[in-house]
Structure 1
Amino acid sequence: MQVKGHHTALKMQSSDERVVLAKTADFLQKAEHLRKLADKHAKERKWNNCSRKNDLKDCFCSLEELENKFNSELKIEVIRVRQQLQKIRNSVYRFQGQLIDVKPSPDLIEKLKDIMSEIESSINTFKEEQHQSFEELLKEERTCWQEIWAFEKKIDAWSLTVKKGAEFYITPKVRLCMDKKGKEVLPAEVMALEAFLQQTGGKLGGWDQYDHQSFLKVWTKHHGKPSYRTEAKFYLPSKTEEDIRLHEDWYLELCRLQERKKEAIQKWRAERLREKEARLQDQESEAERREHEAAAAEAQRLKQEEERREAAARLETWRSQRKQQQEQEEEQRLREEILQRKQLKEERRRQLEVKLAIEAHIRQKKEEEELRLLEQEAQERAEMEERQRLAAEGIRRFQERDLHKLETKLQEKQAKEEEELERVKKQAKLKEKVESHITRDPSRLCKPTKGWKEHTKEIGPTGGGPVYQMFHRAVPAWRQGL
């Protein structure tokens, strides 16, 4: 059971890691797309500024000053954020360094608690500052959106074509919210989403970033099924089931409002596109009508002049074509002549190279053959000398071996003769010292020996008394003690 639980935990961890990696890849892809889009808009804005700078010099000077100011503020903000992140990173590294090769003690635990509290405080402060900054940016974005909306209305009013006795072409508008002064502001769906976020504690529903991300991870894993609440309790120990249910209702409402906001923005964009297309169509039709009238007025006047110009152009074209054709023919002839000369020169050069290559090859083959013959003669001479040397060496070695064998045999023969002579001398000396007279007695073989006589001299009793010993089977010495 423990192995199964461990395997299940590993599978859950791997699935969570895959989800985190997928979200990270999606975020990086979106960030890259936004970066490219920002670069594209910056290039377009720069090109528009350059093309219109002469006409509106004063306005563009103020815009450049404002842009430089924003860029400097952005750089300062980036440096400040990087410094804060580096400070948090250094605190984490210091905390990790305290955990290396240490012995647990109350002082160490208190020190680690202080460091963790400092890190947590830094992170919370950084998150709060970023949250406030994002809220301010959202407010500025809403203000800019309203201003852009007002400017677009003015520009649209300027671009309409005004005729005598005609009225402005009015297209149906997207349903917008109205403020107290009767001015048009953001769509109702957008205002509803913003009001909902302001009333419910922002984009996280009053929760912190970690708890909200844990909720989203479990929610996504279970596809919004009620079974997610059991697992959510393990990830959110500080939240009750009622808090999780309320956050679920808040998240569903947020998704619904975001979807309505997206649909409203799409409808608004489509309506704006239809309005622009209608205005452009009216302008194009008016321009076409005027152009048609101007063309009809000048058609008769330009017809004869056009015919004369066409005739003169045809004549001039024929002359230029004729001249160009002659020049091309002359150029072609010269190119063919030059090419033919180059081919002949190349052929002679190739033949000369082939001839030189053949002569060099023949000379090289001849030199190689002479060198081969010389090497062969030298090799044969060396082999002959080597064979003679080996034969002389073999003859000398055989002679030495035969001489050694002969000397060995002579020494052995001389040693045997000396041994035989020594043996004869010893026998002669023994014969001189000992004189033996031995007589034969065939009956002594049947006589008892002295040992047997001593053994049979005294014979004890033949049983009837007590037994003082018991005979046992003899045990060899090498088996005793086993």
Structure 2
Amino acid sequence: MAALATTLCTAKHCSGEGDCSVQQPCTSSLDSVDHRQARQNAAQFLREAEKNRRQIEKLEKERTLSVQCRKNGWTDVCGELEECEKVLGEERNAEKMNLQKQLVKIHNGVRKFQMQLIDVKPTPELIERLKEIMSEVEISINTLKEEQRSCLEELLKEDRTCRQEITAYEKKIENWSLAAKSDPKLPTAPTVKTKLPDSDLPAEVRALESFLQKTGGLYGGWDQFDHQAFLKVWTRHSGQPAYRKEAKMYLPGKTLEEIEQHEDWHQELLYLQDRKREAIQRWKASKQQGRQTRIQSQKEVEEAERREKEAKSQANQHRTEEEKREAARRLEEWREEKRRNEELEKQQRLAEEIQKRRREKEERRRQLEVKLTIEEQLRLRREQEEEEGRRKREEEQREMEERRKEAIKAIKHFKDRDLHKVEAKLQEKQLREKEEEERQRRIAAKLKEKVDSHVSRDPSRLTRHTKGWDERMKHIGPSGEGPVLQMFHRAVPSWRQGL
């Protein structure tokens, strides 16, 4: 999807340029092939998923292991299987939710990209934004593919391991029906052919080999698969007693007593192996000392042999020089033949290069013709569009001129109407003002008729005391004596006093 969207944007961006128009058909054909291949892969994946889903449903319907376990009294095995199934179901649901979230994120990115392509013009900003959206979608798709690939690889590994374990268990069950146990506590071990202990070996090594012969070989009387399963569980729990419950699941044919006996055997084996390693280290040290003595004597022998070889080398030197001259002559002949072959190859390459240039020149000429044809078509289309645009502009100009004339007439009509209204309002206002002046004049005349008394002026009332002042002076007295308030002054610094 990301590759298809990128190709679509490139084609849109190049539609207005002459250089990109030639390469557009080839690119679209490649995109169609990729898209078809992607659809085929998606259809195949969906068919396989549907097939796996039907197989899972069939297996779940046919599952009767839990019922058989309850009938046989294996309640602990049944509980462990149910718990394991529950854990696997939860993990599967969590993985399904995560996958759905990633698919929704990719779907939203594609929808966002599609919304950006609706009714828009191809601008550089839009192309950059589309590229960012496409890169995010592509990163999400690649991340999802990588996660699914790693998950599939892990599942395939687990499937191979399970198949191997099932095959081993089947072989083991078949062997049960054939072999009989002689001792229920300690199973008989197959006869192990071991080499007789050498008297030259340390006592610890002989003790380990004797122990293995007595106890049934490298696996303690068990087969290899059971011993490997025991070691895996024992190592995981570091030898703690809690490993026995899990070991019972991996070894359903063994009892706890047999597992404990095998644990004791394994610890004894580890102890003997440690002693063997220490004895071997000591034995190696003594051998190393004897080896150094032998090396010293060998060096003296080699020195004598070296002198003898030098005498022989002098005789062989002359023969070697003859061989070198012969080899140089053959080398020169080979070089001459190689030079002739290179000249022939160079002529052939030159002829092929000339033919290739002719084909490229013919291809460029053909592409140029196609380009010129397309440019001519584009030029004719642009001229046609310009002619149509010019006619539309002329029609719009005429319509605008007619509307302008009509607007001028309407404006003149509205101006005359407004002028008549303004004059009428002005006359009405003047009439109201005259009526108001007449009414004021009548009111003044009436008031003048009512008021016929004359008031004389008294200049002394301006300097006369008010009643409030007289009331205040009753308590203070006419002399103005009253309480003397304290007057504060600024302090004078000591260094300025007396100046």
Instruction: Normalising by structure 1, report the TM-score.
Output: 0.30
TM-score between both structures, scaled by the size of structure 2:
0.29
Structure label with greater radius of gyration: 1
